[in-house]
A and B are shown apart, each in its own frame.
Chain A
């Protein structure tokens, strides 16, 4: 666990005047699954392509298993890096059948060894019986698993996955997500995968790197990036939330809906102007005729109902309420902090 498998230092990449990735650093250890979470165009795919060697960074250092694969002078080509990559559209070779797709990367081995590896990969990915089919004869999920099998066959030190589930419908996505997770765990494969779907990132990964405008804002475990975001942007990317303006007094935040207790209150000085991050589950909503807050919008979402509530200062915040699905727009309510919650605030 002590030496990282992959270590990226100060990686930057610009396309002309636009910076796709800037000054990015992180380490990854054996068997870790890291997901890079961020909105479209934040540079996450570029980062993967840089690690794979398909894109040359403008600056930085990458080491894989203690070997430098990129610095200003060294640039190991993608075929010599032993890094596997699975593309969003799978990029299967349409002129080769499943078996030949899988054995493509191991053609230098003896045919007996090839056979064994292919069989093993077919087994892991549950593709037995599909060997002689061509990519266009397979379903989306099967194609995805061929792409995975093809990559696993070369036993890469690291697998990169670019939005691997985005081409599948919801039902299949959930199913395949679990299968892929099991395979990666079973083979103890170190993986980086890129996604804009936070649920996917939460479920799959050991660590999440939240990325925005070419920078990784925070790398932490899924619960940390959700509950303890480093800044407002991380909060917004990792879940529904909104912000309430307030002022610090005695280690708590004074806001228009009352005093909110803060995590790490020692960080703030008296009278600091701050914004408190509020998640839908953080506040308790009670119906009161003389309430000073008002439900202005109700969003029925099946498993839950989200209410958008206007607080006295005019800010609008999301709230969940399990019981009162009959609440309606225009209703007066009171909001109180949940006793167990300590809030995050940002200057």
Chain B
């Protein structure tokens, strides 16, 4: 029962903390807006140049192209691995998701290490054929290839989930009504999949917009690059704020675009009971092209990067280069992840509880605000927090606390996801039972609600923990002096073209990041 009435029945003890959390979550954007409005005429003139438009245009065109490429990679893979008799189906299913664990800056670094001016390809060609120049694949092409290959799984995941949960009966009805394969796909299957293509596509475009590591390494001058340069090279903070705000605006435009194009129809199974098995299309002679397609995508996006990392490590060892000490950076990464996870749990649990149990206008509003971190680029949020931090000064400025807060704002949605869905599954009856058995509100929360949510909370914590470790721009901008994580290690080595040194921390980071995905995959297969 959706009862949109202001505050009705909503406990203030829950609402007020949630409002405060939402305020913290939105504070970066507010700050950027205030700063931008405070910019003087010369800053505005600087901002309103043709060059700025070019930079914005690059960001937009890259985000759009990556999204289109990702859709055209993931739609066939999803169809092949769910609806056909392709050989090694399970292998493709899992390995096509795995590139998700490779951060784009690692992908870009490997790309540079092979195809760059001093890269392996050049060295080989130079030694063997004495060729002195190779085509420049930096910039747009390189960025498009790398980001697409590493982010298409976002669409694939949502597509797979939809394909597996939608009922086959609509397609069967269409067949009985006399439609052929092509028309069934166009008129039934595609409309069913459209919402997940759009929402997966939105994820990819937001990811691309906020990508900083890959575009910087590949020297494609997008907004994130401009923001970082402006931030590190200039003292005009209002100018940086203007750029960061325009990046946020761009992200909001993409969110808006998706929500207007999304068909309003809800996805649900019309017939009760378990979804029926899908009709398996026989591939026949198409078996080999299908395998080649899936195989090459998996090779390019997963096998090649990982084996190249191993190659770099072995080569480094053979040239008796020492593997850089990673203990300190690992501890920093782990502790950053740990603290962020704890903070996110503390913040996300009340927010999720409020929005599930009291679905009113204000709680929806609070939840939407807390999702801001999801759509707003991390570089913009970090910049805003640096400004806020320096305004407040010590003890916040350049402190670990500020970095943890930034990561918590960024990854709160990641935590809200699993916590919210476990609250949705939790019937309010046990809590009410506890009340009728004589227990007060707080006793009930600590003895019933939280223990019953423990697996969802744990899940949320683990995922936040591991995605935080990959975070690059926030750590670069907000970290205390001399604070080094695995991600910044990879970054600093690869920007200086120490490819062998960057390999070990990169591989460690990938291994650590693949844990949450394994966990999610195991969990989803257990609950099937």
Contact = CB atoms under 8 A, between A and B. Distances in A.
B439 A105 contact: yes
Interface string B336-352: 00000000000000000
Contacts, number: 68
The B interface, classified by DSSP as helix, strand, loop or mixed, is helix
Interface in B418-440: 427, 429-430, 432-440
Contacts of A87: 429, 432-433
B72 to A, nearest CB: 45
A127 B454 CA distance: 28
Given A91-B432, A95-B451, A16 B3 contact: yes
Nearest to B453: A95
Interface residues of B, number: 21
B184 interface: no
Contacts of A275: none
A279 to B, nearest CB: 36
B3 A52 contact: no
A151 B440 CA distance: 16
Counting chain A CB atoms within 10 Å of each CB, the highest count among B3, B438, B439, B447 belongs to B438
B8 to A, nearest CB: 10
Nearest to A160: B436
Nearest to A108: B438
A160 B432 CA distance: 13
A54 B9 CA distance: 11
B437 A104 contact: yes
A52 B436 contact: yes
B433 A85 contact: yes
A92 B434 CA distance: 10
B1 A105 contact: no
Contacts of A160: 436
Contact of A150 (B3, B9, B437): B437
Nearest to A92: B430
Contact of A79 (B427, B435, B452): B435
Nearest to A93: B430
Query: Which residue, A16, A80, A104, has most C-beta atoms of chain B within 10 A?
Result: A104
Contacts of B19: none
B388 interface: no
Interface centre among B1, B434, B436 (most CB of A within 10 A): B436
A104 B432 CA distance: 13
Given A15-B1, A16-B3, A95-B452, A79 B438 contact: yes
B452 A94 contact: yes
A16 B502 CA distance: 63
Nearest to B452: A95
Contacts of A79: 435-440
A91 B452 contact: no
Given A15-B1, A54-B432, A92-B430, A154 B438 contact: yes
A15 B448 contact: no
Nearest to A150: B437
A25 interface: no
A56 B8 CA distance: 11
Interface in B15-50: none
A78 interface: yes
15 contacts: A77-B441, A79-B440, A82-B438, A83-B436, A85-B432, A89-B429, A91-B429, A91-B430, A91-B432, A92-B430, A93-B452, A104-B434, A104-B439, A150-B433, A160-B436
Interface of B: 1, 3, 9, 427, 429-430, 432-441, 447-448, 451-452, 454
Closest 5 CB pairs of A and B: A105-B437, A91-B429, A78-B435, A85-B436, A91-B433
Given A87-B429, A87-B432, A154-B438, 7 more contacts: A53-B435, A54-B435, A77-B435, A79-B440, A84-B437, A95-B452, A105-B438
